[in-house]
Structures are given as C-alpha cells and as structure tokens.
Structure 1
Amino acid sequence: METTYSKHRPVAIWLFVGVGMLIIMVMLGGITRLTGSGLSIAEWKPIMGAIPPMNQAQWEHAFEQYKQIGQFKYLNSDFTLTDFKHIFFWEWFHREWGRLIGVVFLLPFIWFIIKRKIDASMIVPLAILFLLGGLQGAIGWIMVQSGLNENDLYVSHIRLAGHFITAMLLTSYTLWFGLKLIVPVREIQYKPGLRKLNLLLIVVLVVQLIFGAFMSGLHAATAASTWPSINGAAVPPGMLTQGSFLQDISHNLITVQFIHRGLAYLVTLLVVSWWWNARKSDPRSLLHKIHIVPLLLVLLQVLLGVLTVLNARIHIPIALASIHQCVGMLLLLSLVTSLFISRGKDGATYLYVKPPRPEDAIGTL
C-alpha cells in the first residue's frame, strides 16, 4: 500500500527542483547587479520578451531605448552596440530563467492535478506559493522601472535588498512546503532550546543577507580590500559621516562593510553554538545527521567572504561574489531545514527503538 510520504514524493521533488532554480535565479540577479546589466532592458514583456532582438534593426532599437536613461548618459556613454549586447544578455538571461521557473512550476502542477497527486491539504500552500512567485516577478519589474530615468545610475540598493529578501522568503517557503510532504513525523524533534537558538540565527542571518545585498548594490567591498583589519584599523574612520545613523548604516560604504563583517563573526559564533548543542541529539535522528551542514557552510562562507574582499581592490570578483552569495543562501536554507526538524511539541519526541537482535529472539524460545 502506498504511504502518504511516497505518494507525495513526486510533488516534494518538484518543489525541491524549484528551490534549486530559485537559488540560480538569485545568483543571476547578483551577477546582473555586479555587471551593471539591470537597466539594459527598458520594457517588460512577460511573454514576447522571451525572444531577444533577432536582427540589427531590433538591436539598434533596444540600444536606443537604453540611451535615454541616466546610466548610459552619465556612466556608459562610451558604450558600443557590442558593449550593450553584453549587459543585455545578463538581464535577458535573468528574466528568461524566471520565465523557465514559471513553466517548471505550472506544467507539473497541471500534471499533478490530472494524476490526483494534489490533495486538499496542498491547495492553500500552493496558492500562496504561486502568489509569492507572481509577487516576486512584479517586485522585480517595479525595481527595474524605478531606475529607468535620467537621474539614477543604478537601481537603489535598498530596493535590491528588498527584492533579494522576498526571493529568499519564496525559496524558504518552497523548501518548508517540500519538507512537510516528505519528512516523516517521527523525525520532528522537541528541542525548545535548540529551536530558539535556530530562530535567533535565522533572524541575524537575514539581517546579514540584507547587508550582503547592500555590499553588492554599493560595491562596498572596494572601500576596504584588506583583512582582518579594515584599511589597517579594527574600527575604521569615516563611519559616521553621512549625517544620520540610518544614512550611515545604509549608504556609507565603509560602515556597511564594517557591519557586514561584524555580523559574519556573530553568525559564525551562533552557528558554532548551535552545532555544539545539536550534536547531542540522537545519533539516529535526521537532526543529528544534518547538524554538521550549517557549520561547514558558515566556515566556507567566511572564507569566501574574505577572498572576495581581498580581491576587490578595483572591481568586485564576480565569480567569488556569486559563490559567496550562493553559500549564504544555502546556509539560510540549512537553518530553515533544522528549524523544521526541531519544531516538535512537548511529549511528541520520536523515540528511536533499537531493533531486536536475532540472538535475543532465540533466547525467548
């Protein structure tokens, strides 16, 4: 007889594929920002926009639209059509991947409906999922449109951070939904202390990811390409020069980098503390099996962050920055997974029973 978990397995795999595609989508967004490509397409055509310019006239028309905005006039006025095609590609590919995600979510959904793989308990979560996906696309276009003028050289890094965090909300929700379908109830542990620490970690990490978006949006790594010091100081000068506290922590490059580094150390300490406590869980539990993952990811994340800063003397190293961003997302998702597993209620902890040995059964005869 087919169990509930085996019945839901195809739907869970579908959702996990979506999680992977969303991670790639966010990485493409990061590359788009770092290459200055985000304002290269001045129109939003969800369907027809899937086809890039196909001839010289169409390319000239797209380039002429780009010439009307401030980014071209004040920053890239020396661009040739070849230069424009390069930045056009990244923004187009970013949007194209978003369209592909829509197809990957929609077509299997229809198939699951036909095959009756979707039950009543999934309707509301799926509706929320599609709503979040559509909202994310709309937020992306609103963000781009805000920069299509004669005054802004880039889209605001504040809007960029908002777009990034809503993408992570969508990705985390999709992961949580998939875990609900495939993780057996017996694996849900009652670990109130660990759960509280896990929640604190997620909150601090989200703030860190916001400042990571600020770092990317402002290219703040170039303000101090040294480590462990920040331009030779533990607390660099020039951090309180923007006129107000909020302005400094959101727009001052050296302040943003100082906060980002400090939060990285805090996240690392919290993850080490979480790992130390999680290692005491039952060795046969899923929680114990994955407890090392956040620790490995945070150590890798710190290493990548250091390498990115050290190699950002003039330009941001896009490959390192992209991998750094990816590992940060994976760290968040690993903590979402551990929170899911440790969210059990008092008295509902699954007790792992050691299977009887053959010699024990013989002794009872």
Structure 2
Amino acid sequence: MKANPNRAIAIWLYFGAFTILIQILLGGITRLSGSGLSITEWKPLMGFLPPLNENDWQLSFGKYKQIAQFQVVNPHFSVEDYKSIYFWEWLHRNWARFIGLAFIFPFLYFLIKRKMNLKLLSLISVLFLLGLLQAVIGWLMVQSGLNDTDTSVSHIRLAIHFIAAVILLCYTLWLAFSLSLNQVKMRHRLRFSKLNLIILCLVFIQLIYGAFMAGTRAALAAPTWPDMNGFVIPPGLYTQQITLSYLTGNLFAIQFIHRFLAYTICLLILVLYFRSVSWKINSLLSYIRLSPVLLVGVQVISGVMALLNSIGTHYQAFALFHQFTGILLSVSLLLLLFLNLKKN
C-alpha cells in the first residue's frame, strides 16, 4: 500500500476535531455551572488574561453585578463566589483561542511547504470561516443575557451556538476522513446511505432540541418517565395553536418533541442495523455499523437518567454525559455515511 501523502494533514485535522470536542464539553460545563455570563466583555486578543489583582477582580465583579443574573439569581455572591464561575467561562474562551492557534500554525506550515492543492486549500478555508462564525455566534449568544431583565442567555441562540459547533466538528472530521480513509477498500456497502443521512439529520435536529431542553430547563416541566406528568401527550398540544414559537418555546412541547425524536432515531438505527445484520460486509464496516446501536442505547438511558435527576444533585453529571454521547452518536453516523459513500 502506498504511503498516504496527506497523513500529516489528516492527523492535524483529527487533533483539531479533538480540541473542538473538548470545547463543546467545556461549553456544557460552563452552561451547567451557570458561568456563561460571568465575563461581560469580548476581547478576542487581550481577553486571555484573567484579572491579575484584587482591584481588577472588583472591577470585573462590578460589571457582573449590573446584569439580571446577579441581581435575581446570585445576589448573595461574594467576589470569591464570582471567581468560581469566572474560571469556567475564562477557560472556555481561552480553549477557543487555543483551537485557533492549533489550526492556524500547522495550516501556515502546510501552506509554506505546499502540502495542499487548491481544492484542499479551499475546503480548509471553509473550515476557518466556520470557526470564525462560531466565535461570533458565541458572543451574540452571551450578549442575549447581558441585560437587566434576562437571567440566562437565549435558548435559541444557545442552540445555534451548539449546533454550529457540532457542524464544525463534523466538517473537520469529514475532511480528515477524506484524507485518511481514501485508501480503504469498500468491497461491500450497506446500501443504506439515504437512511443513514436521514438519521444523521434527525440527530442534528435532536441536538438542537437538546439545547432547547438545556436552555429552558424544560426537564423540570415534566421530570417523569415514560409518561409526562401522567400523560403520553401533554394536553396542551391538543388545545394550543401550533406555531414555530410554540414548538421552540413551550416547555412541554420542547420536551415532547425531544422524547419523540429520541424514540424515532432509536427505531431507525435499529432498522438500519437489523436489515443488514446478515450481510457479508467488510469487518471495518461491520464494527462501525454496530457503534450507533450501542451509542443510541447509552444515549437514551443517559437521557432518561438526566430527566429523572433533573431536580436532584447529580443532574449536571448526567446532562453532560448525555451531551457527550449525543456527539459521539453523530460522529459514528457520520463515519458510517462516509464509508458508504466512498467511490472505491
């Protein structure tokens, strides 16, 4: 087998994807700890430095005191309490800066060494544009909570920020797959590319509704399972006028859709697997075909546990793990789709 001339670039992209995954998890921790509004300014260059002395801390804390989250949710906070939430937002932003450096410096090296053709250069340029867009979306999300009325960020902007990060991750991985798996011979395929793509799209919609669940704390509206406060379908869904605002803003509607999508995705993944379980396919594809089945099972269980513990002390751990497995499920379906679409 010939040596892969793009191996170094693929490794760089895989590492970049790993840093994006870490950033998504840090974003989850930042949200769950209520830290997202602790830094009220956006300084892309100089913002990497935290307050360096007591006066700086008091100045930063004073700006935080001006927003509703402090006045309504955290009026008891001392500067020491403030430091604990400041840390996660500061780390989240600095990890974003690290991601930028982790992409820019190797890119410049490969560019100088002429390791990339024009097509690859254009594809990686799109990656940088997506990264820049994600940074802007992140700040617009934070801005939505920096006022004297809202105690948290807009759940719509939170969902946009989250799904944009997942798209960035998937785009980076797709490029890495195309550079590292191009020599893998696929003598047999599942012939389920369309179903695979449909499931992946549904997972993306599900991730958006997962962000709605998180941003509105919709789990608290019906922290029961398998019913929703004794109902299979919330009564309001029969009587309310179904509008986009209702489907994206009503707590019961958000949770019902999130549950319905979970069951639908689980069923479709099982259909994809069992309809092809007896086929003689590549061992690589056989293992990868099984991974969505395992992950969707873990995802459903972790989602139920997060729901049932939404009023308990372990909610954050379950919610973060649920988010993590959702991303892994997306990646497994993306890889399966890539292998089924390969030309050779």
TM-score by length of 2: 0.93
Q: What is aligned with 2:33?
A: 35
Shift of 1:74: 2.3
Summarize the alignment of residues 158-197 of structure 1 with structure 2, pairs less than 5 Å apart: 158-188=156-186, 193-197=191-195
C-alpha separation in 1, matches of 2:249 and 2:314? 18
After superposition, what is the alpha-carbon deviation per residue over 1:310-331, rounded to whole angstroms, capped at 9, x for unaligned?
Answer: 1112567111111110110111
What's the offset of the Cα at 1:247? Answer: 2.9
What letter matches 2:46 in structure 1? Answer: M
TM-fit CA distance, 1:79: 1.4
Q: Which residue of 1 aligns with 2:106?
A: 108
The equivalent of 1:265 in structure 2 is: 263
Alignment of 1:338-357 (within 5 A): 338-344=336-342
1:90-169 correspondence to structure 2 within 5 Å:
90-169=88-167
| Structure 1 unaligned spans of 5+ | 351-365
Return the letter of the residue paired with 1:214. Answer: F
Give distance in 1, aligned partners of 2:99 and 2:30.
Answer: 18
Deviation of 1:240 (Å): 6.2
Where do 5+ consecutive residues of structure 2 fail to align? none
Q: CA deviation at 1:118?
A: 2.6
Residues 116 and 280 of structure 1, relative CA distance in 2, 3 Å threshold: farther
Task: Give the corresponding residue for 1:87.
Answer: 85
1:57 aligned partner: 55
Q: 2-side partners of 1:139 and 1:242: how far apart?
A: 32
- The separation in 2 between residues aligned to 1:53 and 1:155, in whole angstroms, is 24
Distance 1:223 1:316, change over 3 A: farther
The 1:186/1:84 distance shift into structure 2, 3 A limit, reads closer
Q: Distance in 2 between matches of 1:240 and 1:75?
A: 34
1:284 deviates by 2.6
CA shift in 2, pair 1:312/1:37, >3 Å: same
Task: Report if the CA contact (8 A) 2:188-2:280 is conserved.
Answer: no
CA contact (8 A) 1:189 1:342 kept: no
* Bigger Cα displacement from structure 2, 314-323 vs 87-96: 314-323
Q: 1:259 to 1:123 in 2, by over 3 A?
A: same
Q: Per-residue deviation at 1:113?
A: 2.9
- Look up the match of 1:77: 75
- Percent of counterpart pairs with the same letter? 47
| Equivalent position amino acid for 1:292 in 2 | L
The CA deviation string for residues 280-322 of structure 1, in whole angstroms up to 9 with x for no partner, is 5543353223111111110010111111111112567111111
Aligned positions of 1:191-206 closer than 5 A:
193-206=191-204
Structure 1 distance, partners of 2:165, 2:315, is 23
Q: 1:10 offset after TM fit, Å?
A: 1.5
1:52 Cα deviation from its structure 2 partner? 0.7
Distance in structure 2 (CA, Å) of the matches to 1:31 and 1:39: 13
Equivalent position of 1:335 in the other structure: 333
For these two proteins, the number of residue pairs brought into alignment is 344
Q: 1:26 Cα shift? A: 1.1
2:234 to 211, 236, 239: 236
Shift of 1:244: 5.0
Counterpart CA distance in 1 for 2:254 and 2:311 is 17
- Offset, 1:271: 0.7
The two structures have a TM-score, normalised by structure 1, of 0.88
Taking a change above 3 Å as real, the CA distance of residues 165 and 23 of structure 1, as seen in their structure-2 partners, is: same
CA RMSD across the alignment: 2.1
Q: Distance between the aligned counterparts of 2:26 and 2:127, measured in 1? A: 21
- Distance in 2 (CA, whole Å) between partners of 1:341 and 1:227 is 37
C-alpha contact (below 8 Å) 2:190/2:276 kept by paired residues: no
* Equivalence for 2:19: 21
Post-superposition CA distance 1:99-142 (Å, at most 9, x none):
11111111222232344433333110111111111111111112
Q: What's the offset of the Cα at 1:186?
A: 5.0
Residue type at the aligned position of 1:268: C
For 2:335 and 2:54, the matched residues in 1 are separated by 49
The answer to whether residue 290 in structure 2 is matched with residue 299 in structure 1 is no
**1: distance between equivalents of 2:238 and 2:54?**
50
Q: Compared with structure 1, are the counterparts of its residues 189 and 264 closer, same or farther at alpha carbon in structure 2 (3 Å cutoff)? A: farther
CA deviation string 1:146-188 (max 9, x = no partner): 2211122111100110111111111110000000001135535
In the aligned structure 1, how far is the partner of 2:92 from the partner of 2:187? 39
Tell me the equivalent position of 1:360. Answer: none
Q: Which amino acid aligns with 1:11?
A: I
